Amino acid sequence: MDLYKAIQDLYAEKEKLERVIASLEELQRTSGALPTIPVVKAAKRRGRKSMSSEERQEVSERMRKYWAGRRKDDGDPVAGTG
């Protein structure tokens, strides 16, 4: 690429940007202050969700059964390692 051509292209782009900036500044002067941008609420909260008492009771029953099954299989040497 020709260096002279690249410099000319950059100057042309600079001129365009200066014109756009000037027009935006003029808009700002005529309309007063910039319009306020509404604040977007944060997305869902990260982390664990809270459980209702019914959900906690279901988990409790499920874990009770799980650990009862683990105690029954206590003789398994693979399950005790880790």
Cβ–Cβ under 8 Å, residues 51 and 59: yes
Please give the C-alpha separations between residue 77 and each of 10, 69, 82, in angstroms, as whole numbers: 73, 15, 11
pLDDT, one tens digit per residue, over 8-55 is: 999 999 999 999 999 998 888 887 655 566 766 766 667 878 889 999
Extents of the domains making up the chain: 1-32
User: What predicted TM-score, i.e. pTM, was given to this entire model?
Assistant: 0.36
Cβ–Cβ under 8 Å, residues 20 and 13: no
Q: Cα torsion for 41, 47, 49, 55, to the nearest 10°?
A: 180
